[in-house]
Amino acid sequence: MNKEYLGEFEELVLTMVGILQDDAYGNAIVNEIKDRVGRESNLSAVHVTLYRLEDKGYVKSYMGGATNARGGRRKRIFQVTNAGLAMLLARKEQQVELWKLIPRLNYDLMI
Amino acid sequence: MAKSNHSPSQNHFNHSQDRWLRFLRWFCPPALYEGIEGDLLEKFEEDVKLLGGKSAKRKLAINALKFCRPGIIFRNKFSNHLPEIDMLHNYFKIALRSLWRSKAHSFINVFGLALGIACCLLISLFVRDELTFDTFHTKADRIYRVYSREDWGENQQFFNTVTPFPMGPALKENLPEVEHEVRITVNTVQVKVGEQQFNESAMVAGKNFFDVFDFKVVKGNGHEVLLAQNNVVLSERMALKYFGDVDPINKTISVQLGETFENFSVKAITENTPTNSSIQYDILISELNNSKLFGERLLSSWFNIVPETYVLLREKTDPKIVESKFPPIFKTAMGEEDFTKSKYKAGLQPLTDIHLNTEFPTAIAPVSNPKYSYILIAIALLILIVGCINFVTLSVGRSLKRAKEVGIRKVVGALRSQLVTQFVGEAILITLLAMIIGIGLSILNLPLFNDLAGKQLLFSWDAFTWLVVLSLLIVIGLISGSYPAFILSGFKPVSILKGSIQGSTKQGLRKVLVGVQLMLSIFLISSTLIMKKQLSFIQNKNLGFDKEQLVEAQIIVPRTGRLTDRVKAAFVKIEQFKTELANYPDVVAVCGSSHDFGNGEWTNTGYTDEKGIYRNFAMNIVDEDYLSTLKIKLAAGRGFLKVNGADGRRGVIVNEAFAKEYGWTDAIGKKIPGKNFPDHEIIGVVKDFNFGSLYTKVRPLAMVENPAIILDGIENINIDNSPVPKLIVRLKPGNMNVALGHIKDTWKKIAGEEEFAFSFVDQAMAKQYKGDQNLGKIVNIATLLAVLIGSLGLYALASLAMQNRMKEISIRKVMGATDNSLLALLTKEYFLLIALCLLFSVPITWYLMKNWLSTFEYRVGISADIFLLAGGISLFIALATISFQTLKTVWTNPVKNLKYE
In chain A the domains, ranked by start, together with CATH numbers, are: 8-110 (1.10.10.10)
Q: Residue B88 falls within a domain, yes or no?
A: no
Q: Which residues of A touch B (CB under 8 A)?
A: 25-27, 30, 42-45, 47-48, 51-52, 63, 65-66, 68-76
B831, B792: one domain: yes
Q: Residue B501 falls within a domain, yes or no?
A: yes
- DSSP per-residue codes, B170-238: HHHHH-TTEEEEEEEEEEEEEEEETTEEEEEEEEEE-TTHHHHS---EEEE-HHHHTTSTTEEEEEHHH
B735, B810: one domain: no
Q: Residue B121 falls within a domain, yes or no?
A: no
B182, B326: one domain: yes
Domain boundary among B42, B58, B73: B73
Radius of gyration of chain B (CA): 36
B337, B399: one domain: no
Interatomic CA distance for residues B477 and B392, integer angstroms: 11
pLDDT value at position B502?
53
Q: Residue B323 falls within a domain, yes or no?
A: yes
Q: How far is B3 from chain A (nearest CA, A)?
A: 7
B269, B379: one domain: no
Confidence band for A108, pLDDT divided at 50, 70 and 90: low
Confidence band for A33, pLDDT divided at 50, 70 and 90: very high
Using the beta-carbon criterion (under 8 Å), do A69 and B35 form an inter-chain contact? no
Domain boundary among B73, B89, B106: B73
pLDDT at B4 over 80: no
Using the beta-carbon criterion (under 8 Å), do A51 and B71 form an inter-chain contact? yes
pLDDT value at position B632?
92
Using the beta-carbon criterion (under 8 Å), do B72 and A71 form an inter-chain contact? no
B750, B602: one domain: yes
Using the beta-carbon criterion (under 8 Å), do B69 and A70 form an inter-chain contact? no
pLDDT at B677 over 70: yes
Residue of A nearest to B67 (CA): A44
Tell me which of B74-88, B228-242, B484-498, B860-874 is least confident.
B74-88
pLDDT value at position B66?
84
B656, B754: one domain: yes
Confidence band for A106, pLDDT divided at 50, 70 and 90: low
pLDDT at B181 over 90: yes
Using the beta-carbon criterion (under 8 Å), do A25 and B35 form an inter-chain contact? yes
Residues of chain B above pLDDT 70, percent: 95
pLDDT value at position B137?
92
pLDDT value at position B643?
77
Using the beta-carbon criterion (under 8 Å), do B4 and A25 form an inter-chain contact? no
pLDDT value at position B901?
55
Domain boundary among B745, B767, B789: B767
pLDDT at A1 over 90: no
B646, B667: one domain: yes
- Mean pLDDT of all residues in A17-26: 89
Residue of A nearest to B72 (CA): A48
B347, B396: one domain: no
pLDDT value at position B7?
43
ipTM of the complex, rounded to two decimals = 0.83
The residue among B499 and B74 whose pLDDT is bigger is B74
Confidence band for B418, pLDDT divided at 50, 70 and 90: confident
B515, B561: one domain: no
Phi, psi angle pair for B5, to nearest 5°: -100, 110
pLDDT value at position A105?
58
Using the beta-carbon criterion (under 8 Å), do B38 and A75 form an inter-chain contact? yes
Mutation target for B interface from A43, A60, A63: give the one with most B CBs within 10 A.
A43
Helix (H, G, I), strand (E, B) or coil at B252: strand
**A95: CB partners within 8 A, 6+ apart:** none
pLDDT value at position A23?
87
Query: For residue B622, which of B689, B695, B548, B694 has the smallest C-alpha distance?
Result: B689
SS3 letters for B573-642?
A: HHHHHHHHHCCCCCEEEEEEECCCCCCCCCCEEEEECCCCCEEEEEEEEECCCHHHHHCCCEEEECCCCC
Helix (H, G, I), strand (E, B) or coil at B263: strand
Query: For residue B190, which of B571, B554, B551 has the smallest C-alpha distance?
Result: B554
Max mean pLDDT among B148-162, B296-310, B525-539, B882-896 falls in B525-539
Predicted confidence (pLDDT) per residue in B720-776, tens digit: 788 889 999 998 888 788 888 888 888 888 887 777 888 899 888 888 888 888 888
Helix (H, G, I), strand (E, B) or coil at B147: strand
Residue of B nearest to A44 (CA): B67
pLDDT value at position B5?
43
Predicted confidence (pLDDT) per residue in B297-347, tens digit: 888 888 888 899 999 999 988 999 999 988 888 888 888 888 888 888 889
Q: Which of A42, A48, A70 sits opposite B38 (nearest CB)?
A: A70
Confidence band for B500, pLDDT divided at 50, 70 and 90: low
pLDDT at B715 over 80: yes
Task: Give A52's contacts in chain B (Cβ within 8 Å).
Answer: 71
Interatomic CA distance for residues B796 and A57, integer angstroms: 53
**A100: CB partners within 8 A, 6+ apart:** A106
Q: Which residues of B touch A (CB under 8 A)?
A: 1-7, 10, 15, 32, 34-43, 45, 63, 66-67, 69, 71-72, 75
Domain range spanning residue B62? Answer: 8-73
| Total number of domains in chain B | 4
Contact of A106 with A97, CB cutoff 8 Å? no
End-to-end CA distance of chain B: 79
- Mean pLDDT of all residues in A34-48: 89
Predicted confidence (pLDDT) per residue in B629-658, tens digit: 999 999 988 888 887 778 888 899 999 999
Using the beta-carbon criterion (under 8 Å), do B4 and A26 form an inter-chain contact? no
Q: Residue B104 falls within a domain, yes or no?
A: no
Mutation target for A interface from B39, B44, B74: give the one with most A CBs within 10 A.
B39
pLDDT value at position B10?
45
Residue of B nearest to A31 (CA): B43
Confidence band for B701, pLDDT divided at 50, 70 and 90: very high
Predicted confidence (pLDDT) per residue in B432-454, tens digit: 999 999 999 999 999 988 888 87
Using the beta-carbon criterion (under 8 Å), do B38 and A48 form an inter-chain contact? no
Interatomic CA distance for residues A108 and B237, integer angstroms: 84
pLDDT at B569 over 80: yes
**B551: CB partners within 8 A, 6+ apart:** B728, B729, B731, B740, B743, B758, B759, B760, B761
Confidence band for B11, pLDDT divided at 50, 70 and 90: very low
B663, B698: one domain: yes
Q: Say which amino acid occupies B317.
A: T
Confidence band for B621, pLDDT divided at 50, 70 and 90: very high
B705, B595: one domain: yes
- Mean pLDDT of all residues in B375-404: 83
Q: Which of B1, B15, B39 sits opposite A26 (nearest CB)?
A: B39
Confidence band for B84, pLDDT divided at 50, 70 and 90: low
Task: Give A66's contacts in chain B (Cβ within 8 Å).
Answer: 1-4
Interatomic CA distance for residues B610 and B300, integer angstroms: 31
Predicted confidence (pLDDT) per residue in B458-476, tens digit: 888 888 888 888 998 888 8
Task: Give B6's contacts in chain A (Cβ within 8 Å).
Answer: 68, 71-72
Using the beta-carbon criterion (under 8 Å), do B15 and A71 form an inter-chain contact? yes
Chain centroid offset of residue B786 CA: 22
Residue of B nearest to A64 (CA): B35
pLDDT value at position B656?
92
Mutation target for B interface from A73, A78, A79: give the one with most B CBs within 10 A.
A73
Task: Give B66's contacts in chain A (Cβ within 8 Å).
Answer: 42-45
Q: How far is B30 from chain A (nearest CA, A)?
A: 13
Predicted confidence (pLDDT) per residue in B271-290, tens digit: 988 888 999 999 999 999 88
Helix (H, G, I), strand (E, B) or coil at B689: coil
Q: Residue B56 falls within a domain, yes or no?
A: yes
- Mean pLDDT of all residues in B801-814: 82
The residue among B831 and A36 whose pLDDT is bigger is A36
This prediction has a pTM of 0.69
- Mean pLDDT of all residues in B813-840: 84
Q: Residue B86 falls within a domain, yes or no?
A: no
Using the beta-carbon criterion (under 8 Å), do B66 and A42 form an inter-chain contact? yes
Predicted confidence (pLDDT) per residue in A56-96, tens digit: 889 988 888 777 777 778 888 999 999 899 989 988 898 88
Mean pLDDT of chain B: 85
- Mean pLDDT of all residues in B378-397: 85
Size of interface A-B (CB pairs under 8 A): 84
Q: Residue B156 falls within a domain, yes or no?
A: yes
